[in-house]
Structures are given as C-alpha cells and as structure tokens.
Structure 1
Amino acid sequence: MIIQINKIILCSFIISIFFISCKHIADNKKEIKNMYPHLAKYIDKVYSMSEKERKGLLLMVGIKDKTLSEETIKILKENKIAGIILFDYNIENEKQLKKLASDLREYVNPNMLIAVDEEGGKVNRIHFDKLKNISPKDIGDKNDKEYAYKIAYQKSKFLLDLGINMILAPICDIPKDSNSYLYERSFSTNINIVADMVEATVKAQRDAGIITVLKHFPGHGDTVVNSHDGFPIIDKKINELKNKEFVPFKRGIDAGAEMILVAHIKNKYIDDKFPASLSKNYIEILEKELNFKGITITDDLTMTGKIERGINFGVNLNSNIYQNIEYMFDDLNPNIISCAKVLKIISENKYLAHKK
C-alpha cells in the first residue's frame, strides 16, 4: 500500500513539473515575441522544431563535392544543415554547378542557403564569371554609384541563375593605406566612397533577389594582419568606430542588408577576452548602435586554427564539414532569436519563394 501511494505521489510530482515547465516555456515564448514582434511567427516555428533542427539553422558549412555524394547527403541531412558555402574546388563549369545547387535543394534541404565569396578581383570562386576581374577597388576608383549598382545587379543575376542565393559581399572595410592586406579588395580608403559603393551594391543585390552579407564587422581596414594567420587587434572606442569603420556598415544596413559577417578581430574596449566573431558584445552594438535587425554570421571558424567550438548566436560559418562538425557543435545551444531570424531570411528570400 505504501509503495502504491509513493508511486502516486511520484507521478503527481512529475506531472506537476511537466505543467510548470510547459507554462514556463509558454511564458518565455510570449515574452520573446513581445520583445521581437517582427519575428513572432518565426519564433512560433522555432519552438516547434527539435534542437537538432535549430542547430542546423545556425550552421553554414563547406563540402568537398563537385558532384553531390551519398556521404555528403547523409551528413548534411543528419545534421539538418541549412547553409552551404562553395569554393573553387566545388566548381567545374556552369552545368555542373547548377546541378550541384539543384541537388543540394532536392536531396538535402529545399530551402538551402547556398553562398559564395564572389567579390571580384582577388577573391572569386567561379572562373567563368565574366565580371570576376572587376574588383571592388576598380569600382571604387570610378566612384560611380550607377556603375556599382550595374555590376552588382549583373553579378547577382548570374549567381542566382546558377542556384546561388547568397553572396558574401560587399566588403565594408576602409583600409588605412596600401599596406592593408585588404587594400585591393576594398572600394577605397575614402569613407564616403566606400559607403556610397556599399549602399549601391546592397540595393542592387536586394533588387536582384540575392541575400547580402556585409563584411568584415567591426572593420578590418586598420590592420596589416591577415586574420587567417591570427587575431588582428584594433583597439578603438565605440565613438571612434562610429565615425569611421561603422559608416559603410550603417549605409548597407539602411539599404536592406540581411546579414553581417563578424570578423576575428579583437578590441579591448569592446571585449577584452573574445574576438568579435565569438562575442555577443558586438551583436549588441549592431542592434543598439546601428539598428541592425538581421542575422550575424561568423567569419570562417577554421581560419585561424585557434577556435575550437561554435557559438550559440548568429550563424556559424565552417568551411570544413568533415573534420569539424562532429566536435565543434556538440555543445551548441541554439539561440531562439537567431533561429527565428534565419527562418525569416529564408522565408523572405525572393529566389526561394520563386522556386516554391
């Protein structure tokens, strides 16, 4: 009899905890929706997703394939991956690239975000891109917003035709002088020229229907250190950054940029421990100081060889799926708001909407 009573008490306790937990989740969801009313319907969707599905939304990974293999399909599907970044080793010709993009959406995820670094000039992945030799510096040297718009629009349509719906551009960095390793990749050393070209480029990409990624926040221009080799240090206070580095980012944000790539840069005035790519402090600056409501994406987490895990907010960019995905994201606790923001971008992307 005592055992039976204990069982009843235990069951009652478990049921009580369950209902308390459900009420807490409901209250928490309501509070989050009140804080982010523009994300309300996407927050509802996130709460209905499994943890693995949420993690997949916050991952953008590289693959080794030119022709999509069963192995890659299995890994991508098992990890619910929502984003892919392509490199030159994934690309052979137009027909092959179109099939690769099509297969990723058919066999893995119909809403797949497929990105590429196609800045032009020094950084391009598609050898048959007719605009590949026109660098940001070439565009900035002309200092013609109509020309910048035309080039960005044509390139966007070219990429969209291939099945690519996200471009890691434009660069918003303002190099101090020709010693900056980004000098040839940037529009200009002049703040106003960079801001004008960024604005025109974002408008063109928005009009074309491709997703824009501004980079490299908070600004890589004032360093000669390549972040592939280590963490550049730029110790500037917020007001100083607002008067220079942040200007092109703000113009790009106001023009409608959906994403911002956060660099592996350290600044003791913002975070004396973590680089921008791993620090929520920079996300707060984007939201509060620059009124950015989109999603942040890290620079490649495998770049420096010094980052050992993913982050719980924004999108984790990882160029090497096979070596890193198994251990880097085990402890990832996907942020509800970040997941909702990714869902919003996917839902509102003209390319994906057209394909449905």
Structure 2
Amino acid sequence: MSHGPLMLDLAGHHMTQEEREMLSHPATGGVILFARNYESPDQINELVSEIHALREPSLIVAVDQEGGRVQRFKEGFTRLPPAAWFGQLYNSNHLAARHYTELTGWLMASELRSVWVDFSFAPVLDLNRGVSEVIGDRAFHTQPAIVADLASAWMKGVHDAGMAAVAKHFPGHGGVTEDSHLALPVDRRRPEDVMMEDLMPFQRLIDGGVEAVMPAHVIYEKVSPDLAGFSSFWLQEVLRKRMNFQGVIFSDDLTMAAAGEAGSYAERADAALTAGCDMVLVCNNPEGAMEVLEALSDYSDPASQMRLLRMHGRKRQTKEELRLDPRWKRAIDLIAEYETSPSLDLGLE
C-alpha cells in the first residue's frame, strides 16, 4: 500500500479502533501528533511504533517541535529556545549563532528520532516584520539573509540527525496581522517585495536540499486571488518552476479558519491537491478527516508518493546512545545558557 494524500491526527495517548481503521485507509499517508498525544518518551515511542507497524510502507509521523511556544513534546524532552533567540545572538556573533542553531536543530531532530518520529514541521522561514503575533518569536530574524543563514544551519543539524526538514510558511506569513487559524489574512504588499524578500530564505533552503515546504493560508492579493496553499500560481509556477523545488508540498491544516474560503473539507482537499500539494492536513476534526478520506478513496499520484518516501526518518539513536554523543552535552549546556539569559526583550509579542 502506497502513501495516501491525507495526514490526520489522533485524539489521545493511544489509538482507538476507529482511528486504526482510518489510518489503514488507502487515502491516509501520515499522522501529525499534538501535545494531547504525549505523556512520556516511553509512551510516545510505543504509540509511534504502533502507527509505523500498521502498514507497509509505514505511515509518516510528524509533530510541530519548533521550540519556544510551539513545542508539543515537553516533559522528558529538552525545552528548546524560540528561533528569535538565535537571531538575537546573530546580531552580536554570527558564527556562534550559526553553530548554536545547527546544534539545536540536531538536538531537536535526534530527540524526536529516538522515539521514531519521522520529522518536525520546521524551520519557520517567515520574516519577523513586527506585525504578525502568530509568527513573532517563531521567526529567526527580520532580515531575509539572516533568516536564510540560520535556517540553513538548523537544516544541517536536522539532516545530521537523519531527519527531513520542512520550510514554512511559503511564501511568507510575516507581513499580515491576522492569525490564519482564526481569520483570513490578506497580504497587500507589492509582488516585487514578496518575491525579492520573503522568497529568499526559501530559495536558499531549496538550493540546500530541503525536503518539504508548507504554504501559508494567506492571500497575496496583488499576486493571486487564492490562498497560497490553494494557488497553482504559487505552488506550480513559482515554487516548482521558478524556484525548481522538487520535494514534498504539505498543505497547512485545512480546518483553519482561513481555509474555509475553499468550501467543504472535501473541496478544500481537492483544491489543495489540484493546486499542487502532495499531502493535505486535516486536524482536530475527525468528521472532516473522514469526509476527505471518502472523497479521496480512488486518488492516486505516483509522483507525490515517490516524493513522500523522502520524509521517513533515516537513522536513529536510542535515548541512551544519544546521551553518550558529545554533541548532546554541548547542546544541553547551550540550552542552560538560554535558560539563564533568555533575553526576551526582542520587540516581540
């Protein structure tokens, strides 16, 4: 059975029989985990192992483990700094900032791989323009070149741990005030500003081999009338053709308020896939996920299925092996430095 185009979620710490049946559906291709699914490293290790054992090739398992305020697994995992902390370090010592960012990316990925999670939806490549509360300190910096530099270091660490990277939120969520979870953001900037500034970090990571991209639920009204994640212009003309991206395109969560512009859940999934997404996410709405499963029962895209194979984790250290790795001690010392001097006066929310 190949990877289907839907990534869905689970209700709790263990799979129900109904969830097992949904994960066995041919339209399912992956699972995204949330804080409600996490109790301890041993529990999440068992849950992920059970998910992987359901079918062959195994479903891909993901989580949002950016650091800062977006970190789903906490107790038993290292609490990671927000991306903006590395950007502040960059202002005073760019060499140290790159090193620390790479080391933290490696730690994040290594800890997730130790419990068999395939990848995290990170890094965030949005620019902190001082207007987006939902992005805020999730962004590395205000300057595109610095965001690109730090995100490339993060990706190197992630790759060294055997994990794929996901660049988000294409082409850039930092220029809107609205939170797309709750409203429909509209970016009214000139096309050349978006193209010359916001796209630069994405191009750098694409050139560096990033495996996946997640588009924003944002309308760039002077470029395309559609949300970026439902726009063939953004996904096929710009991302695939102009930027030569050959990896996976994940939709953002189709249950977010901004995605409602595309219609029912089945219509949203169809619009995203038609625009160029390889896999769509439906979270926190089992009925919506079932609607999409039924609508996509006969869906098949061999090219997408081949791309999705790259998202599986490639190597793993156990928790015990990880703590014997000298990089682990250096990373823990770095986190301790952050905890004693977080320097959160960054002009963020």
TM bucket (normalised to shorter chain) is: 0.7 to 0.9
Q: CA deviation at 1:335?
A: 3.6
> Which of 102, 107, 111 is 2:58 aligned to?
111
Partner of 2:231: 279
Aligned pair 1:320/2:284, yes or no?
A: yes
Distance 1:175 1:334, change over 3 A: farther
Partner of 2:200: 247
Partner of 1:86: 33
Give the residue type in structure 2 aligned to 1:87: F
Higher relative CO (Cα under 8 Å, sequence separation at least 6) belongs to: 2
Tell me the SS of whatever aligns to 2:61. strand
Tell me the SS of whatever aligns to 1:64. coil
Structure 2 segments unaligned to the other structure (5+ residues): 91-96, 317-349
Distance 1:233 1:80, change over 3 A: closer
Q: Deviations over 1:29-57 (max 9, x none)?
A: xxxxxxxxxxxxxxxxxxxxxxxx66x52
Tell me the SS of whatever aligns to 1:296. strand
Taking the aligned partners of 1:129 and 1:262, their CA distance within structure 2 comes to: 31
Aligned pair 1:215/2:179, yes or no?
A: no
Superposed, 1:1-356 pairs within 5 Å as 56-128=3-75, 130-143=77-90, 144-177=97-130, 180-272=133-225, 274-284=226-236, 285-304=238-257, 306=260, 307=262, 308=264, 309=266, 310=269, 311-312=272-273, 313-320=277-284, 322-332=286-296, 333-346=299-312, 349-351=313-315
* Alignment check: 8 A CA contact 1:120 1:131 kept: no
Compute the TM-score of the two structures, normalised by the length of structure 2. Answer: 0.79
* Alignment check: 8 A CA contact 1:118 1:132 kept: no
Q: Percent identity?
A: 26
Q: CA deviation at 1:86?
A: 0.2
* Alignment check: 8 A CA contact 1:233 1:267 kept: yes
Distance 1:179 1:342, change over 3 A: closer
Taking the aligned partners of 1:148 and 1:344, their CA distance within structure 2 comes to: 23
Give the residue type in structure 2 aligned to 1:328: V
Larger Rg: 1
* Alignment check: 8 A CA contact 1:63 1:321 kept: no
Q: Deviations over 1:137-165 (max 9, x none)?
A: 11221121111000100111000001111
Instruction: State how many pairs are aligned.
Output: 297
Compute the TM-score of the two structures, normalised by the length of structure 1. Answer: 0.77
The alignment's C-alpha RMSD in Å is: 2.2
Give the residue type in structure 2 aligned to 1:106: A
